[in-house]
């Protein structure tokens, strides 16, 4: 039995489930017209795919579909279950394994957003159900660093809100972490591991996320200043 797998992405791209786009789903629906695809039928199920076992290649197609969706859901956040019988079904369920924390807080300037920022947000979300992100206001950055950010606050906060890992975004008007912990019922705080030994104490545990080497907004800004200006 030969199985054809129509990958739109390669396995080594380390994809997240959020990257299974509507376009990709439409391609699968077109390729497998005998199957019914339902997204988010309830809180526990991310994707439900089924068909009546009334054609010869039903089982073969089932295995093909599993391989195609597996590149998105083959991780600890999801479980793929198969059902055989008169009706074949593929169910992608959210893993029941609880996250370490309910509500976590992280913060930053997010001026010139880069991969290091994204990595901290992703790693933080992996540890909690609800990630709250504080974005420093222009006034706070001016007070702390003696200059205004390159990207205005309104644009920086919109950018952070657009990240899938982020559940809630708030202005960071000061560095009083305990106030945030109390006001938003925070269970833990996450920061880059470059803060080890110097992060202010609160009533919450602190999770140190490995900092992405050779990537920082400061380095990027200095590089931009070194570039010759267009004439």
Number of domains in the chain: 2
What pLDDT does residue 73 have?
A: 76
Burial of 40 (0-12, 13-18, 19+ CB in 10 A): exposed
* Average pLDDT in the chain: 82
pLDDT at position 11 is: 30
6 domain residue, yes or no:
no
**Could you tell me if 131 and 166 are in contact, meaning their C-beta atoms sit under 8 angstroms apart?**
yes
pTM: 0.57
Q: Report residue 19's pLDDT band, with 50, 70 and 90 as the boundaries.
A: low
Q: How confident is the model at residue 69 (pLDDT cuts 50, 70, 90)?
A: confident
Same structural domain, 135 and 79 = no
Q: Which of 95, 83, 189 is nearest to 134 (CA)?
A: 189
Residue 126 and residue 83 in one domain: no
Percent of the chain clearing pLDDT 70 (strictly above): 81
Cα separation of 110 and 82, whole Å?
42
Distance CA 183, CA 171 (A): 13
Residues 16 and 70 in one domain: yes
User: pLDDT tens digits, residue range 21-55?
Assistant: 788 888 899 999 999 999 888 878 889 999 987 77
- If asked whether residues 127 and 195 sit together in one domain, one would say yes
Is the predicted pLDDT of residue 231 greater than 70, yes or no?
no
| CB-based contacts of 172, cutoff 8 Å, min separation 6 | 107, 134, 135, 136, 137, 140
Element (H, E) at 69: helix 58-73
Task: Give the domain extent around 177.
Answer: 101-226
Q: At residue 171, does pLDDT exceed 70?
A: yes
Interatomic CA distance for residues 173 and 216, integer angstroms: 22
Examine residue 2 and state whether it is found in any structural domain, yes or no: no
Tracing tokens 């197609």 back to the chain, one arrives at 61
Does residue 27 lie in a domain region? yes
- Residue 5 inside a domain? The answer is no
Domain match, 106 and 41 both: no
Predicted confidence band of residue 74 (pLDDT cuts 50, 70, 90):
low
Tell me whether residue 15 is in a domain. yes
Using one digit for the tens of pLDDT, what is the confidence trace for 114-168?
888 888 999 999 999 999 999 999 999 999 999 999 999 999 999 999 998 999 9
33-42 LR contacts (CB < 8 Å, sep 24+): 34/58, 34/61, 35/61, 35/65
Question: How does DSSP classify residue 210?
Answer: P
Residue 81 scores a pLDDT above 70: yes
pLDDT of res. 168? 97
Distance CA 205, CA 199 (A): 11
For residue 46, being part of any structural domain is answered with yes
CB 187 within 8 A of CB 101: yes
């Amino acid at each position: 039995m030969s199985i054809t797998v129509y990958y739109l992405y390669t396995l080594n791209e380390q994809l997240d489930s959020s990257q299974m786009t509507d376009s990709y789903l439409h391609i699968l629906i077109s390729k497998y017209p005998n199957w019914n695809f339902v997204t988010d039928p309830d809180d526990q199920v991310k994707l439900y795919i089924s068909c009546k076992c009334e054609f010869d290649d039903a089982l073969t197609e089932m295995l093909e579909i599993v391989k195609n969706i597996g590149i998105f859901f083959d991780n600890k956040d999801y479980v793929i279950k198969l059902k055989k019988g008169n009706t074949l079904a593929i169910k992608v369920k959210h893993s029941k394994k609880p996250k370490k924390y309910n509500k976590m807080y992280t913060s930053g300037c997010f001026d010139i957003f880069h991969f290091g920022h994204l990595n901290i947000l992703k790693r933080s979300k992996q540890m909690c159900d609800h990630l709250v992100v504080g974005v420093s206001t222009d006034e706070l950055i001016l007070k702390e660093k003696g200059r205004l950010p390159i990207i205005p606050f309104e644009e920086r906060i919109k950018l952070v809100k657009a990240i899938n890992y982020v559940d809630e975004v708030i202005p960071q008007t000061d560095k009083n972490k305990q106030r945030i912990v109390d006001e938003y019922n925070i269970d833990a705080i996450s920061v880059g591991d470059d803060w080890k030994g110097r992060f202010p104490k609160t009533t919450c545990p602190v999770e140190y996320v490995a900092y992405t080497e050779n990537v920082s907004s400061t380095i990027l800004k200095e590089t931009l200043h070194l570039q010759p200006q267009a004439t």
